[in-house]
């Protein structure tokens, strides 16, 4: 027998490339991960710039807390995170990220450059560069204002099978815009810019008051949405639901204007979908879909966000309670416009 083993532990960069499949599907998923990091860093302004639908270039720049010189190489390492240190932390996690996978995954399938500064002196700042499986661990000085810029070039350049799955520039950018819409709707208090092929498509000023929020909804979903939506804000048993629900007369053939946030995280959930469907049941024609932008706020410890790597799914500790609260809140809001029913919506 030789001491050559058939089983080997994967080289870490290769392991990253493989697991990148879970979180990096297309430019839109890169946007989601990078912007979530910017939000977690407490940014007030986030700027996005893309070329060729994001396949050639994705740049996300923020004014958040930044990453220190010594932490820069760690930021790209797998399972390296500053957001949790214990299972207990995970129980009540309030940050969008916590798995320490995104930067490792993205840098394994692109040419990535991370520049950051934790000080107020714009001449300070440091940069680390990774290119596919090769990583340049050297951290070099690079001027940058307080905050972080991540540049992702040539997504999937080293994984041709995945690159083949990218659609046309127009389709990919459509997904990017959808990601952007969700993110910008998740935080009214952050200012946003979206540029594509040198053109500015969105410039959203920050503002958390009613008028600013509606201005943003109008900019992202169109004024028609607003003109045909009811505003609601209901609180009961530790749960709060607020946002806008479309009038039954403003329904759509597709479920393409439905945004549901749980503690600031966009979520697609069957329990939520069911509660909404029930509430609209007797006011919508069969096959039509309501429009809504809804925010559910609840104690982070009663909802598990660690269900899937993309964190698009959640699990509520008391699903029944959440379902009934959603249903009754929406039913009550729609009661005002429901024919043959009084405003109390009793039935």
For ligand ADP, which residue of 23, 24, 31, 41 counts as binding (CB under 6 A)? Answer: 41
Q: What are phi and psi of 142, to 5 degrees?
A: -155, 120
In the DSSP assignment, the letter for residue 289 is B
Could you say whether residue 34 binds Mg ion (CB under 5 A)?
Answer: no
Q: Token digits for 122?
A: 């714009």
66 vs 191, beta carbon nearer ligand ADP: 66
150 vs 294, beta carbon nearer Mg ion: 150
CA 120 to CA 131: how far, in whole Å? 29
Could you say whether residue 145 binds ligand ADP (CB under 6 A)?
Answer: no
- Minimum Å distance from CB 320 to ligand ADP? 31
Options 4-12, 63-71, 260-268, 271-279: segment touching ligand ADP (CB under 6 A): 63-71
CA 173 to CA 190: how far, in whole Å? 22
Could you say whether residue 64 binds Mg ion (CB under 5 A)?
Answer: no
Q: Residue 46 is inside which H or E element, if any?
A: strand 45-51
Could you say whether residue 64 binds ligand ADP (CB under 6 A)?
Answer: yes
Could you say whether residue 126 binds ligand ADP (CB under 6 A)?
Answer: no
Q: Biggest alpha carbon distance in the chain? A: 84
42 vs 122, beta carbon nearer Mg ion: 42
Could you say whether residue 39 binds Mg ion (CB under 5 A)?
Answer: no
340 by Cβ neighbours in 10 Å (0-12 / 13-18 / 19+) ranks as exposed
Options 36-44, 178-186, 195-203, 275-283: segment touching ligand ADP (CB under 6 A): 36-44
Could you say whether residue 49 binds ligand ADP (CB under 6 A)?
Answer: no
Q: Token digits for 322?
A: 């959440």
For the CA atoms of the chain, what is the radius of gyration?
22
- Minimum Å distance from CB 200 to ligand ADP? 21
37 vs 251, beta carbon nearer Mg ion: 37
Order of strands across the sheet that contains 265-266: 229-236, 239-246, 292-297, 258-262, 265-266
84 vs 276, beta carbon nearer ligand ADP: 84
Q: What are phi and psi of 215, to 5 degrees?
A: -60, -45
CA 240 to CA 338: how far, in whole Å? 23
Could you say whether residue 37 binds ligand ADP (CB under 6 A)?
Answer: yes
Options 91-99, 133-141, 193-201, 331-339: segment touching ligand ADP (CB under 6 A): 91-99
CA-based nearest residue to 145, from 123, 126, 114, 128: 123
| Non-local CB neighbours of 8 within 8 Å, separated by 6+ positions | none
Options 35-43, 236-244, 286-294, 296-304: segment touching ligand ADP (CB under 6 A): 35-43
Could you say whether residue 97 binds ligand ADP (CB under 6 A)?
Answer: yes
Could you say whether residue 144 binds ligand ADP (CB under 6 A)?
Answer: no
Could you say whether residue 43 binds Mg ion (CB under 5 A)?
Answer: no
Angle between helices 270-280 and 319-335 (to 10 degrees): 30
- Minimum Å distance from CB 239 to ligand ADP? 27
Q: Token digits for 61?
A: 């720049």
Q: What are phi and psi of 114, to 5 degrees?
A: -120, 120
Terminal Cα distance for the chain, rounded: 77
CA 310 to CA 153: how far, in whole Å? 22
For ligand ADP, which residue of 20, 28, 30, 103 counts as binding (CB under 6 A)? Answer: 103
Could you say whether residue 102 binds Mg ion (CB under 5 A)?
Answer: yes
- Minimum Å distance from CB 37 to Mg ion? 4
Binding residues for ligand ADP, rule CB under 6 A, total 23
Could you say whether residue 97 binds Mg ion (CB under 5 A)?
Answer: yes
Residues that bind ligand ADP (CB under 6 A): 33, 37-38, 41, 62, 64-67, 75, 80-83, 97-104, 148
């Amino acid at each position: 027998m030789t001491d050559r083993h058939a089983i080997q532990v994967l080289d870490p960069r290769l392991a990253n490339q493989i697991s990148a499949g879970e979180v990096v599907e297309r430019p839109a998923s890169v946007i989601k991960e990078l912007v979530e990091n910017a939000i977690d860093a407490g940014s007030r302004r986030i700027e996005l710039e893309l070329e060729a639908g994001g396949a050639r270039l994705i740049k996300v720049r923020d004014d958040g807390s930044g990453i220190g010189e010594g932490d820069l190489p760690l930021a790209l390492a797998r399972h390296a995170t500053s957001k949790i240190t214990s299972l207990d932390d995970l129980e009540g996690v309030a940050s969008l990220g916590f798995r320490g996978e995104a930067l490792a995954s993205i840098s394994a399938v692109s040419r990535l450059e991370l520049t950051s500064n934790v000080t107020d002196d714009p001449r300070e700042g440091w940069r680390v560069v990774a290119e596919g499986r090769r990583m340049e661990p050297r951290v070099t000085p690079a001027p940058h204002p307080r905050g972080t810029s991540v540049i992702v070039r040539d997504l999937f350049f080293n994984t041709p099978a995945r690159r083949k799955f990218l659609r046309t520039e127009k389709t990919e950018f459509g997904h990017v815009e959808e990601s952007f819409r969700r993110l910008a709707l998740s935080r009214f208090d952050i200012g946003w810019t979206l540029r594509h092929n040198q053109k500015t498509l969105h410039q959203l000023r920050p503002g958390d008051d009613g008028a600013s929020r509606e201005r943003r909804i109008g900019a992202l979903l169109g004024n028609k949405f607003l003109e045909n939506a009811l505003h609601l804000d209901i609180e009961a048993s530790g749960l709060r639901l607020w946002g806008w629900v479309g009038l039954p007369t403003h329904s759509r053939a597709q479920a393409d204007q439905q945004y549901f946030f749980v503690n600031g995280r966009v979520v697609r959930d069957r329990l939520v979908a069911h509660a909404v469907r029930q509430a609209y049941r007797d006011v919508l024609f069969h096959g039509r879909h309501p429009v809504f932008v809804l925010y559910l706020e609840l104690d982070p410890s009663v909802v598990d966000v660690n269900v899937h790597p993309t964190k698009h799914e959640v699990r509520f500790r008391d699903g029944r309670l959440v379902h009934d609260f959603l249903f009754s809140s929406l039913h009550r809001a729609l009661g005002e416009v429901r024919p043959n029913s009084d405003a109390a919506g009793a039935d």
